[in-house]
Every structure is written in structure tokens, then in C-alpha cells.
Amino acid sequence: MMMRGLGRGLGFWIGAAVFIALAFAMALTIRNEYAFFAGFVVLQFIVLATAWNILGGYAGYVNFGTSAFFGVGVYTAVFLLKAVAAPLWIQIGVAALVGAALGLGVGLLTLRLRGIFFSIATVAITIIAETLITNWKFVGGATGVQLLRPPVTSPFDSYNKMLFVLAAVMVVIAVALARHVQNSGIGRGLRAIRDDEIAAECSGVPTLNLKLVACALSGALMCAAGAPSAMYLQFADPVSAFNLNYSVSALAMSLIGGTSHWIGPVLGAILLATTQQLLTVTISSEINVLVLGVMLVLFVVVAPEGIIGLARKVWRLVRRGAP
Amino acid sequence: MKSGRIHRRTAVAGALAAGLAFPVLAQQGPIKIGMSMPLTGGLAAGGKSALIGIEVWRDDINAKGGLLGRKVELIVYDDKSSASETPAIYSKLLDVDKVDLLFAPYATVPTAPIMPMVKQRDLLLMGNFSFQVNRTVKHDKWFNNAPWGPADSWARGFIDLGMKAGAKTIALIGADQEFAQNLMKIAKDVATEKGIKIVYEQSYPPSTVEFSAMVRAIRAARADMVFVCSYPPDSVGLLRAINEIGIGDSVKLFGGGMVGLQFSSVMESMGSLLNGVVNYNSYLPEKSMQFSGTTDFFAKYQKRAGEAKVDPLGYYLAPFGYAMGQMVEQAVNATKSLDHKKLADFLRSNEMMTIVGPIVFGPDGERKESATLMAQFRGVTDKNIEQFRNPGKQIILFPEKWKTGELVQPFEKARK
């Protein structure tokens, strides 16, 4: 059993190393910039969906505040860039710390609420954060701010390629964290909370502490995902940075992929973000929004447990059908 | 043997000719113009109207035989009114679709993120109704089709009109949003420079729906002019509050930067409540603004807009989309080239004739002189969209060259 676990762990890390090496090789060989623009967005959504799933999936606390954390990440980067011209890795690191602190603070204020009340409280956080940034002139206020990129560092020949590889590294960190949470005592505690919080509390599960840890981790990853966006767009404005689309997409990606396992949000994000990118440059009209809506409804009706649930069902059927 | 040699030579010549002909044939493909456009989301109504304007130009130019003997093809993607979509779309246009020329999306926010990209790649970008988007980037191949001109000209036109009417004080109100705050700051600076006393200044959250307290405060401040920087819902809310409470006899001039009063749906629903307001506009069907091709364009636009259920009047954005095409057409024909530097040099140093009047660019790629109109609504009746197709419903007061009447003041009198 232990050997099987070790084997799985080794397999995960080998997969992660291959993934980063592949991203790096793509950056060095592919010349078409579009692949990196579109690829960065897909990778960014994997981080966001994975981060959402730590609280929303494992603990069952439906969080609509993804856009608040994402926006705070964007503006942490903008602030650091304008104030001290901080390099990108510092922007991401500080954004993660700010996100963790914000997650902890928000958690303390909201995690005593449950169900729909918690969800409403998380929507309010986005509005509060957006209003604060709208009125903060130093980071561009309501008008937004245009940012110029510093020169790219070797071995990359364009900033987008560097951002793409960076996003790939962030995906590995986010997924590794989510996987660790899932397989550790924290994950078991969170699942107990999801199934029956009162029963978990009575059984000695430190519910509030676990939820706070999940909220801080989730917030740190969301803010870290937002930070490189400032340099990706070279522009930040409150409406785009705090766009509710990030909240809805992160939630939808996790639900479509399946919330019970770390691979669910990854699959959901790849499927949905890639479809979004493809639809934007193919159908490109109101229909692309409709296609996404229909896809969501279909998954909720046909596969309420997401791709993972669907795969499990198919696997069971295959095994039952086998001689 | 001889004949064989001749055959070989013919074959070689033929192969060479074919080899040469292939690139020529390849060049005969369409000239691709790429852009994103807000076709969904908050800016979609404007984006669709602007796109019809550009499409009418494409069809007109193709009917004339295209540009440099090649057909013009538009490649358009929906940016969902979001800044986060446009960098990837413009990269796709450049790196995958290999477009020859770029048009910017409608409005400032979707345009802002592509400015650094076009500067880094040194490409020509025709702007589409952005406001001061090149201020930070300072790209020398940016040319905005909007009539704004220098940043302060908008407020200057309004304040000059007020001063001519004897105004000495001003009240400033504006939404707490990007464009409105920009404009309000500029109006404040111009007022201070001209020695106009600011007697009231108030920003309000964009979600405000109740304006009676603000209208009462302006009334109490007894301002001579009221400069408003509002978005469509607040423009409507403010005018309704004024209709109920009244703004006071001291106000000679009311309006300035009220977004929404240019859109058919708002104009139709507000009807007579618009009377007396002096507001900015880009194009109006007044006699002074009839240029070569204008009537023909609106006939085509209004037919298509009716079918597509888009802004039926289309005065605000659509003719500028067409003008954007006309400017490129003149630059390409004059330079006989698609080279972005040559085209930019031409656009920078020539006056171009368009259906919205002659256009000359300043060094920042904005109009050298402002062509932003200040017009006063007059004699507007309720629930009648057709009335706005005729001259006389919005009298142009500024700029002088297109003036079609005098200011009626005070505002309370002009409202009746």
C-alpha cells in the first residue's frame, strides 16, 4: 500500500517535471506568439480553478469571491511595479502573501456563515475590493493604468513566453498544494465538514481552523494567479480585474471537472478555457457565450459529479461488463 | 536536337515564369484588416453600430475594385467588451491570420492593452473612439478616428459657451468611473485657468439611481453652468430629477459630458426631457455637417441597422467607422503600399476627406483640432425616434465652423 502511494507520488512529480520541461521547450521552439497568449490564459484558469476547489470543492463552501482575490493580485503587482519597480517574481510572491492574509481575514469574517449566506458574503468582498481600488488614484483609480514591460530576460526571446513558462510552474505549485491538501489530514477534515459540519465538529474536527487554512491557501493561489495578469495585459482597470467572469469560470471549471479530486478542476479548466479561447476566434459572436452556457447546463444535468464522476461511472460499467 | 533545346529553354522559361507568377498570384489575395469588436457585453451596442459602419466601407471599396486591385476582407473577433480578451485576439490576428492592417476595437478599455503590443511591433493602428489611450505609450503609428482632439478641448468648448453667455461660476458633477473622472478633472483645470469659480463639486458612485439630493444642492449653490460627466443610467436619472425639482434660474448651461444622450434608445425614451441640455456629440444630421458621401452612407447604414436591430440612427459611431476605412483607403492609394511606416507618414502629414468632414492628425495621433460638437436639444417631442433624423433637433453651438444656431438660455427657459 505504502509502495503504491510512493509510486503515485513519484508519478505525479515526474509528470509535473515533464509538464514544465514541455512548456519550456515550447517557449524555446515555437515562434507563433498567439500560442503563448492563449496558453497563458488556460494555465491561469487551471490555477484559479484549483485554488477555488480547495475551499469550494473539498469543504463545500461555494465561494463567489475569486474575482476579488484575482483583482487584489493584479493590483498588488501594479502597486509594487509603480512604487518600487519590483520584478515579476517578487510581485507574485508578495501577491501570494497578501492573498493568504486576505483569505485569513475574509475567512474569519465570513466562515461562521454557511450555505447561501457565505456565498453572498463572498460576492460582497468583490464589490468592496473593487470600490477601494476604483478610488485609489495611485494605482490608476477608475481610469485604469497602462504598464510597460521591462526587457525580457534570457533564455526567452519574448515576455509572453516567459509568462507562459511561469504560469506552468504556478500550475504545478497549485496542483501539488491541492493534492497535498486532498491527501492529508486537512483534506479529510474538509471532506468531513462538507458532508456534515456539525457531526465533524462533534467528532473533534477543528472545523474553523481547517476552513481558515483552506481559505488562506485558496486566497494565496488566486492572488498569485492574478499578479502576472498585470504584465500580461500591460493594463489594469478595476472593471476587468474584478470581473465576475473569473468567479463564475473558476466555479464552473471545478464543477465540470469534478470537485472530489485535484484532477477535476485541472480537466475542467483545460476543457472550458480552451473552448473559450477557441470559440472567441472561431464563432466569435453572441453564440460563443451561448455555447458555454449550454455546456454548463449539460454537465449539471448529465454529469453532476463532473468529468471525474462520469469517468468513474463508465469505468464501473466497463468492469461490470467484463467477463 | 535543336528543337529539343528550344523545348528545354521554353520549359525553363515557363518554369521561371510560373515561379515568378506564384508570388504574384499569392499577392492577389485579399487585403486583410483585423480587429476585435465588443459584440457582447456592456459595449456591444456601440461595437455593433461601429462595425456596420466599417462593413459599409468594405462593401463600397470592394464595389470600386478594392485597394491596390485587391479585395478588402475584414477579420473580426468578439472581445466581449473586456480588456483581458484583446491581447490574445490581436496576437491571433497578427501571428495566425497574418492580417495586413489593424483597426482598434470600439472604446478605450479594450484598446488600452493592445497599445504596448503595437508599439513593440511598430505597427499602424487605427483607433476607434478611444479617449487619450496613447498618452502613456506614445506610439507614433496611432491614429484615432474620434473627434475629441486635445484632451482639454471637450470641456473648453462647453466652458467657452458658458462664458459667452455671461457665466462666472460652475458646478461639476461626475460618476466615479474612468472616463467621467478624467473629464471632470480636465473641466476643473480649464475652469480654474479661465477664472471661473467652482461652487459645487461632487462625484457619485456609478450605481447611484437617486439624484434629487444632488440636484437640490446644485440649485442651492446657484451655479451659472453645470458640467455633468455621467454614464447612460445616471444621465437619465439626473434629467428625471431635474424635471421633478428644477435646477434654478441661475443655470445658463447644463450638460457637457453626458454619455447616453447620443444613443437612439435613450433619446427616444427621454423625449422632451432632453430639451435645453447642451451636450457633446460626434456627428449630427445638421446642414453644416453634410459632406461628400454622408447621405449615401446613412441610407446604407440605416437599412442594415434596421435588419440587424442595431442603433437605428447610428450618428454617434458608425460614420467614424466608415471614415476610418476612408483614411486607410486614401493612405494606401497615395502611397501605393501597405507598408505601415509609409501609411503612418501619410496619415500624419495630410488632410483626409471623410464623410464626417476633413481630418488632420496632431503628433499624438489624435485630431489636431477638436471636432467635438456641443449641441443643444430643441423642440424634442416624446416617443418619436424619427424626429432625430431631421436637422433642427440638436442645434450645433460649437465648433464655430459647423455652428447652426445660438444658445437659448437660461436652461429652465430652454427646457420649455
State the smallest CA–CA distance between residue B98 and chain A in angstroms: 11
Distance from CA of B49 to the nearest CA of A (A): 14
- Half-sphere exposure for B100 (CA within 13 Å, toward CB): 20
Q: Flag if A141 and B82 touch (Cβ within 8 Å).
A: no
Q: Is the pLDDT of residue A281 over 50?
A: yes
Asked if A237 lies within 8 A of B83 by C-beta distance, the reply is: yes
Model pLDDT, residue A114: 78
Q: Does A262 touch chain B (CB under 8 A)?
A: no
The verdict on A207 touching B (C-beta cutoff 8 Å) is no
H or E element that contains B329: helix B318-335
Residue B360's CB is within 10 A of a number of other CB atoms, namely: 15
Nearest CA distance, A153 vs chain B (angstrom): 16
Q: Do residue B314 and residue B392 come from a single domain?
A: no
Could you report the per-residue pLDDT of A32-68, keeping only the tens digit for each? 899 999 999 999 999 999 999 999 999 999 999 999 9
pLDDT tops 50 at residue B10: no
Q: In the predicted model, what is the mean pLDDT of residues B127-133?
A: 91
pLDDT digits (tens, 9 = 90+) for B26-54: 457 999 999 999 998 888 889 999 999 99
Q: Do B91 and A33 touch (CB under 8 A)?
A: yes
Residue B257 has pLDDT above 80, yes or no: yes
pLDDT value at A24 more than 80: yes
Residues 151-190 of A with CB under 8 A from B: 160
Q: A132 φ, ψ to 5°?
A: -60, -45
Residue B11 lies in a domain: no
Residue B171 maps to a domain: yes
Q: How far is CA B393 from CA A275, B226, B255, B275, B416, in A?
A: 48, 21, 16, 9, 14
B370 near B144, Cβ under 8 Å? no
Sheet with B101-106, side-by-side order of all strands: B72-78, B31-37, B101-106, B125-128, B142-144
- A3 pLDDT tier (thresholds 50, 70, 90): low
CB-based burial, A267-277: b 16+ in 10 Å, e otherwise: bbbbbbbeebb
Reduced to 3 states (helix: H, G, I; strand: E, B; else coil), residue B389 is: helix
Distance CA A88, CA A235 (A): 15
Give all strands (DSSP E) within B296-415, no chain letters: 352-354, 357-359, 373-377, 394-398
Residue ranges covered by each domain of chain A: 2-270
The average pLDDT across A144-165 equals 88
Q: Which of B314, B394, B388, B399 is nearest to B357 (CA)?
A: B399
Are B284 and B297 within one domain?
no
**Quick check: is B12 in a domain?**
no
Verify that B49 and B78 share a domain, yes or no.
Answer: yes
Residue B75 and residue B124 share a domain = yes
Residue A155: cis peptide before it, omega within 30 degrees of 0: yes
Answer yes or no: is pLDDT of B25 > 90.
no
- Rounded mean pLDDT of B141-154? 91
Cα B150 to its chain centre, rounded Å, is: 14
Share of chain A above pLDDT 90, in %: 62
Contact of A84 with chain B, judged by CB distance below 8 Å, is answered with no
Same domain, B225 and B276: yes
Q: Does domain A2-270 have CATH number 1.10.3470?
A: yes
b/e code A187-214 from CB counts within 10 Å (16+ = b): bbbbbbbbeebeebeeeebebeebbbbb
**Are B224 and B297 in the same domain?**
no
Using an 8 Å CB-CB cutoff, list chain B residues near A142. Answer: 176-178, 180-181
Cell numbers given for A317:
460499467
Chain B positions in Cβ-Cβ contact with residue A160 (cut-off 8 Å) = 91
DSSP string covering B27-52: HTSPEEEEEEE--SSTTHHHHHHHHH
Q: Provide the domain count of chain B.
A: 2
Least confident of A179-193, A302-316, B134-148, B231-245: A302-316
Nearest CA distance, B82 vs chain A (angstrom): 6
Q: How far is CA B292 from the centre of its chain?
A: 19
User: Alpha carbon of A197 to those of A113, A182, B119: distances in Å?
Assistant: 12, 17, 55
pLDDT at B123 over 80: yes
Residues B168 and B102 in one domain: no
Average pLDDT score over residue span A152-170: 91
Identity at A13, one-letter amino acid code: W
Across B326-385, the runs of DSSP E, i.e. the strands, are 352-354, 357-359, 373-377
pLDDT band per the 50, 70, 90 thresholds, residue A4: low
R_g over Cα of chain A: 20
Percent of chain B scored above 70 by pLDDT? 93
**Contact assessment for residue B133 and residue B106, using Cβ atoms and an 8 Å cutoff:** no
B212 and B108 belong to one structural domain: no
Cβ distance A146 to B137 less than 8 Å, yes or no, reads yes
Identify which of A82, A64, A200, A188 has the alpha carbon closest to the alpha carbon of residue A141: A82
Using 50, 70 and 90 to split pLDDT, how confident is the model at A6?
low
Structural domain range at position B401:
153-288+371-414
Question: Residue A299's pLDDT is what?
Answer: 86
pLDDT of residue B173: 95
| Cβ contact B343:B331 at 8 Å | yes
Give the three cell numbers for residue B121. 511591433
Average pLDDT, chain A: 90
Average of per-residue pLDDT across B323-339: 97
What confidence category does residue B21 fall into, taking pLDDT thresholds of 50, 70 and 90? very low
Q: Give a yes or no: residue B4 inside a domain.
A: no
Same structural domain for residues B296 and B259?
no
Strand pairing category for B169-175 and B225-230 = parallel
In sequence order, which residues have a C-beta less than 8 Å from that of residue B194 and are 6 or more positions away? B159, B163
Say if the Cβ atoms of A32 and B182 lie within 8 Å: no
Categorize the per-residue pLDDT at A146 as very low, low, confident or very high, splitting at 50, 70 and 90. Answer: confident
Asked if A256 is an interface residue toward chain B (Cβ–Cβ < 8 A), one would say no
> Tens of pLDDT along B73-96?
999 999 988 888 899 899 999 999
Q: Please write the tens of the pLDDT for every residue from B357-389.
A: 999 999 999 999 999 999 999 999 999 999 999
Give the model's pLDDT for residue B41: 83
The candidate with the shortest Cα–Cα distance to A114, out of A55, A182, A70, A49, is A55
- CA-based nearest distance B208→chain A, Å: 14
Contact A33 B94 (CB under 8 A): yes
| CB within 8 Å: B96 and A32 | yes
Cβ atoms B379, B393 nearer than 8 A:
yes
**Residue B266 scores a pLDDT above 50:** yes
* Percent residues over pLDDT 70 in chain A: 95
In order of A104, B349, B369, the CA distances from B363 in angstroms are: 51, 9, 11
Residue among B88, B109, B176 minimizing CB distance to A38? B88
CATH of residue B107's domain is: 3.40.50.2300
- Predicted pLDDT of residue A137: 85
> Is the Cβ pair B136, A148 closer than 8 Å?
yes
Q: The pTM is what?
A: 0.86
Q: Which residues of chain B have a CB within 8 Å of the CB of A34?
A: 88, 91-92, 94-96
Q: In this complex, is the C-beta atom of A134 within 8 Å of any C-beta atom belonging to chain B?
A: yes
Question: pLDDT band at residue B158, thresholds of 50, 70 and 90?
Answer: very high
CA–CA dist A94, B218 (Å, integer): 45
CA distances, B129 to each of A35, B118, B147 (Å): 29, 17, 8
Whether B8 is in a domain gets the answer no
**Domain check: are B76 and B201 in the same one?**
no
Q: Quick one: B202 and B274 in the same domain?
A: yes
Its ipTM equals 0.84
Q: How many CB pairs under 8 A join A and B?
A: 104
Shared domain check, B139 and B74: yes
3-state secondary structure chain A: CHHHHHHHHHHHHHHHHHHHHHHHHHHHHCCCHHHHHHHHHHHHHHHHHHHHHHHHCCCCCCCCCHHHHHHHHHHHHHHHHHHHCCCHHHHHHHHHHHHHHHHHHHHHHHCCCCHHHHHHHHHHHHHHHHHHHHCCHHHCHHHCEECCCCCCCCCCCCHHHHHHHHHHHHHHHHHHHHHHHHHCHHHHHHHHHHHCHHHHHHCCCCHHHHHHHHHHHHHHHHHHHHHHHHHHHCEECHHHHCCHHHHHHHHHHHHHHCCCCCHHHHHHHHHHHHHHHHHHHCCCCHHHHHHHHHHHHHHHHHCCCHHHHHHHHHHHHHHHHCC
Q: What is the pLDDT of residues B391-406, one digit of tens each?
A: 999 999 999 999 999 9
**Cβ contact A285–B40 (<8 Å):** yes
d(CA B222, CA A14): 74
